[in-house]
Amino acid sequence: MSYSLIDFAKTSKKSLLSLFEQSLSNKRNFTQSKFVSKMVGTAGLLFFEPSTRTRFSFQTACARQGVHPLVLDSYEGTSLEKGESIEDTILNLAAMKPLFFVIRCSDTVSLAEIVGTLKVPVINAGWGVKAHPTQALLDAVTLVENWGDLSGKKVLFVGDVLHSRVFGSHLELAKILGYEIAVCAPSEYRSNELSCTYFDDLDTAMDWAEAVIVLRVQNERHHQSGADQNRVNNYAEKYGMNTLRLKRLKQSGLLLHPGPINYGVELEKEVLKDSRSVVLQLVENGVFIREAIIQKILSGETI
Ligand code: CP
- What HEC string does 138-188 produce? HHHHHHHHHHCCCCCCEEEEECCHHHCHHHHHHHHHHHHHCCEEEEECCHH
The Å distance, Cα 248 to ligand 1 centre, comes to 28
CA distance 58 to 33: 18
Q: Probe ligand 1: pick from 47, 52, 257, max atoms within 8 Å of CB?
A: 52
The Å distance, Cα 258 to ligand 1 centre, comes to 7
Atom number of ligand 1 nearest to Cα 55: 8
Q: Probe ligand 1: pick from 56, 60, 129, 135, max atoms within 8 Å of CB?
A: 135
The Å distance, Cα 281 to ligand 1 centre, comes to 14
For ligand 1, residues with CB inside 6 Å are 51-55, 126, 135, 258-260
- What HEC string does 187-222 produce? HHHCCCCCCCEEECCHHHHHHHCCEEEECCCCHHHH
Which H helix or E strand runs over 238?
helix 235-239
DSSP secondary structure letters along 221-232 = HHHHHTGGGGPP
- Closest residue by CA, ligand 1 atom 6: 51
> What is the pLDDT, as a whole number, of residue 225?
60
> What is the pLDDT, as a whole number, of residue 230?
53
Which H helix or E strand runs over 35?
none
The Å distance, Cα 188 to ligand 1 centre, comes to 23
The Å distance, Cα 260 to ligand 1 centre, comes to 6
- Closest residue by CA, ligand 1 atom 4: 53
CB 239 within 8 A of CB 183: no
CA distance 200 to 185: 7
The Å distance, Cα 102 to ligand 1 centre, comes to 13
Atom number of ligand 1 nearest to Cα 54: 8
CB 178 within 8 A of CB 216: no
- Closest residue by CA, ligand 1 atom 3: 54
Atom number of ligand 1 nearest to Cα 49: 6
32 sits in the region (left: phi over 0; alpha: psi -120 to 50; else beta) called alpha
301's CB contacts (< 8 A; 6+ apart) are 3, 15, 18
Question: Mind listing the pLDDT tens digit for each residue in 230-242?
Answer: 567 789 999 999 9
276's CB contacts (< 8 A; 6+ apart) are 246, 249, 251, 253, 254, 255
List strand residue ranges (DSSP E) for 51-171, in order: 67-72, 100-105, 122-127, 154-158
Q: Could you say which residues of the chain have pLDDT below 50? A: 1, 229
The three-class DSSP label of residue 272 is helix
The Å distance, Cα 292 to ligand 1 centre, comes to 18
Which H helix or E strand runs over 256?
strand 254-256
Task: Name the DSSP letter for residue 129.
Answer: T
> What is the pLDDT, as a whole number, of residue 1?
42
The Å distance, Cα 206 to ligand 1 centre, comes to 25
CA distance 162 to 144: 26
> What is the pLDDT, as a whole number, of residue 58?
98
User: How far out from the chain centre does Cα 171 lie?
Assistant: 12
